[in-house]
Structure 1
Amino acid sequence: MEHRRVTKRRATVAGAAIVALMGAGITLQSANASDDVPEFTPDTLSALAAGKLASDLSADLGSDAAGAYYDADSRTLVVNVLDKAALEAVQEAGGEARIVQNSLTELNNTRETLADEATTPGTAWAVDPTTNKVVVTADRTVDGAELTKLKEVVKDLGSTVEFKRSNGEFKPFVAGGDAILANGGRCSLGFNVIKNGAPAFITAGHCGSAGSTWRHTRGKVLGTMTNSQFPGNDFALVQYRTRKAVAPSAVNLYNGTTRRITRAAAATVGMRVTRSGSTTQVHKGRVTGLNATVNYGNGDVVTGLIQTNVCAEPGDSGGSLFSGNAAIGLTSGGSGNCTSGGTTFFQPVTEALKVYGAKIG
């Protein structure tokens, strides 16, 4: 009985906070239009506002929250909860909610088990809030005893996990934004940034090592890579050769125009995103998972990635993933191609900026 009273009291507090947070989410979208906060409706919640709201709601609901995802068609944030009290709190605030079976703690425990018992090259896993499961994907190189062991681990994890196969091979896209060259290899510029008042750009860490010199396709020296992090993370910083370098905060759309980038934002499952890269240029898709772990082989395991259904190919590495005017990710790797489609993983831009003390534009 006491547990029920505590749960109800926590849900009531959560409901009050949800109302305020939804207002804050709309303010992000409408700050330049009016000081008034409009009433929350599904068609006024942008993907970027939904991402901020999802993060705030997760902290507010605590153990009652089980993830969230953005329905781009209805422009609605759907919140996963564990009990009726939390469901009603979200609904009373004007949000969408559904009761699911697996808590975030259970899903994170599943991810830890996979990391301990299924660290096989050619595998990846990420939490999918739309299914309320951890989706484990094995590429075509996983077979024999390794595949048998992986399936046994998945079976033991029960209803917290879903198993899939990929026809391609998970690998970093070594070899987009604009093309950048170093040591005979080609990658793509991610986003121009400012660090300590000087222009720089971020790209994928697996593209090169600290001290490497990067050039434009026309041969002009752009700058020097001052830091590179891979594996574990997959981002790097290149400081422009001169403080007077022309480094606009924009992404090449490969149609004679660019997209201005004004800020960085976190990804949300369901968010519509666009990728620009020097091999396959511009392609679109949606975010399908967060906090993904990918084993590229040879000990190269990267964690904390954004998983998408946007295609990419070698040479697109380091390229820009964005939504509207917001920088979202840096192309890391994946499987498939832009003829048959595939799965692609991205390093969150927000983490790279935090590590480097840099900012967009």
Structure 2
Amino acid sequence: MRNRKYLAVASAAALSSTALIWAATPANAEPSVDVEPRSFQQARAEVTSTVDAEVLTAMMRDLDLSEGAAYDRLAVDRVATDIEAIAAIELFGDYAGTWVNEKGTGTVVAITDPDRADDVTDLGATPTIVDHNSLELDSVKADLDKIGDSVPDGVHSWFVDITTNRVVVAASDEDAAADFIADAEVDASIVDVRHSTEQPEPLYNIRGGDAYYMGGRCSVGFAVTHSGGSGFVTAGHCGTTGTAVSGYNQVALGQFRGSSFPGNDYAWVSSNSNWTSTNKVNGYGQADFTVTDGSEKPTGASVCRSGSTTGVHCGTIGAKDQTVSYPQGTVYGMTRTNVCAEPGDSGGSWISGGSAQGVTSGGSGNCTSGGTTYFFPLTDIMAAYPGLTLKTSGEGGPNPGGCESAEENFAGSLTGTNDYDYQPNGNYYDAAAGTHVGCLAGPSGTDYDLYLQKWNGSSWQTVAQGETSSSNESVTYNGTAGSYVWVVSSYSGSGSYSFGLTTP
């Protein structure tokens, strides 16, 4: 085994092979180097050289920022993304959420154990002590989701509000909300009913980059490629599988190849040979925005929306994993924003800096009086359609070798030696006993490695790894039930990678 500068090596009798403990130093181990988020200065330099001037202009207008303040905000968002990925794993069990503070000047991490406050501070974030960890809050929301298809009138949505450490049910009828909570048999002491006059609707003629037509009008989300050529992702409520699509110029474009609504709100359209995918988002009066990657940004981060009715508008990311009750049915896993939208914008693009975030689903209000708009996360869409690849300005890694049949596929980017990502999407997952398969494909000329870690009750412990000298790795592990996370790390080199995952 080659020496890993930031991995401590220890023997573990419970494992059949050598185990690695991330950022730990057992008595019989060599010293390890703590992994850290990038510094504000590093992030500031990165965004200054990579973010489109058009994104900056839209942020300055809608968030009332100077040019320097807009760059600062994007740098804070980037650092917060790193902190969120690290904190969610390394503070597991005590972790309760990460967000950018209201002023956009720093990162807050919620924890339940005051003794972990120094760990949060060491990450460069401000700790806040709360009563409930993410596992408790997510469990309550999951119980509410179980009866989400029989939502009483007057209940509009429910979500975990990490900034208040509560589960929130938004409703115009408090009695209906109380009945809804009682029917779910959840701990009502963790749930707040928040008065809401909005009635979210899936804005059928709604948002995105360029317009497209399918009997109505919606907006393109993000361009993708697939084995058959080009296409794009959009909202599922815009069309069903097989629906014919014309482009912004009314020329035949292709058809819906997949669609899910309600439950989800995503779809993808395959284009004919007359259309080619690009890495651009319509700037509507500005130069086009460039899509650099698909990394998901945290709550509180800045975000801009592009749609064929109202053009570009910006705001901030609110609660994630929100469940929304539309008249047509319940949709799970959405992200709330304070950005406006109107009919015709549906399916359109959401971008933070150059990072693609999701596609417009629905909301309330308009771009005169303001409103609330939800987008369906791009990471979930790409996982649902593993044959699709987001079109970006980067090289992008090849499809993961040996993982053509992976249940889910993810993308990421490493900045250099000793950089790392947690997968899937910066989080862990719970699995039954059985076989885990992970496949990694990095850029040519790099040496990327892959580790599978399991929570042992007090720390994350590596149970399987792939450490060849190539950019591609494939790991198979037959394990017991528990919580797992994958670590993608760079032994040398940088660039975009793809990761395929199959779980028991």
TM-score normalised by the shorter chain: which range applies?
0.7 to 0.9
2:282 maps to 252
Q: Does 2:37 align with 1:22?
A: yes
Measure, in 2, the Cα distance between the counterparts of 1:359 and 1:18: 34
Q: Is the contact made by 2:43 and 2:75 (CA closer than 8 Å) also made in structure 1?
A: no
Q: Is the contact made by 2:38 and 2:82 (CA closer than 8 Å) also made in structure 1?
A: no
Measure, in 1, the Cα distance between the counterparts of 2:107 and 2:174: 41
Measure, in 2, the Cα distance between the counterparts of 1:126 and 1:221: 40
Q: Residues 330-359 of structure 1: CA distance to partner in whole angstroms, max 9, x if unpaired?
A: 001112222222221111011212222322
Of 218, 225, 229, 1:198 maps to 229
Q: Is the contact made by 2:257 and 2:269 (CA closer than 8 Å) also made in structure 1?
A: yes
Q: Does 2:301 align with 1:271?
A: yes
Q: Is the contact made by 1:172 and 1:206 (CA closer than 8 Å) also made in structure 2?
A: yes
1:302 maps to 331
Measure, in 2, the Cα distance between the counterparts of 1:156 and 1:232: 21
Moved more, 112-121 or 49-58: 112-121
Q: Is the contact made by 2:356 and 2:378 (CA closer than 8 Å) also made in structure 1?
A: yes
2:179 maps to 149
Q: Does 2:372 align with 1:343?
A: yes
Measure, in 2, the Cα distance between the counterparts of 1:18 and 1:100: 30
1:359 maps to 389
Task: Quote how far apart the aligned CAs of 1:60 are.
Answer: 1.4
- What secondary structure does 1:279 align onto? coil
Q: Residues 29 and 231 of structure 1: is their aligned pair in 2 closer, same or farther, counting only changes over 3 Å? A: farther
2:422 maps to none
Task: Say which one has the larger Rg.
Answer: 2
Measure, in 1, the Cα distance between the counterparts of 2:137 and 2:196: 22
Of 156, 175, 181, 2:213 maps to 181
Q: Residues 252-298 of structure 1: CA distance to partner in whole angstroms, max 9, x if unpaired?
A: 12114211112112131101111111122211111110111111134
1:120 maps to 152
Measure, in 1, the Cα distance between the counterparts of 2:128 and 2:138: 20
Q: Residues 281-322 of structure 1: CA distance to partner in whole angstroms, max 9, x if unpaired?
A: 211111110111111134x21111111111112221100111
- What secondary structure does 1:218 align onto? coil
Q: Is the contact made by 2:74 and 2:302 (CA closer than 8 Å) also made in structure 1?
A: no
Q: Is the contact made by 1:25 and 1:53 (CA closer than 8 Å) also made in structure 2?
A: no
Task: Quote how far apart the aligned CAs of 1:113 are.
Answer: 3.3
Q: Does 2:191 align with 1:161?
A: yes
Measure, in 2, the Cα distance between the counterparts of 1:252 and 1:212: 24
1:4 maps to none
Of 107, 113, 119, 1:83 maps to 113
RMSD of aligned C-alpha atoms? 3.2
Task: Quote how far apart the aligned CAs of 1:127 are.
Answer: 1.4
Q: Residues 255 and 43 of structure 1: is their aligned pair in 2 closer, same or farther, counting only changes over 3 Å? A: closer
Measure, in 1, the Cα distance between the counterparts of 2:294 and 2:348: 15
Measure, in 2, the Cα distance between the counterparts of 1:317 and 1:31: 31
- What secondary structure does 1:351 align onto? helix
Ranges in structure 2 where 5+ consecutive residues have no aligned partner:
1-20, 26-30, 50-71, 392-504
Q: Does 2:352 align with 1:320?
A: no
Ranges in structure 1 where 5+ consecutive residues have no aligned partner:
1-9, 35-41
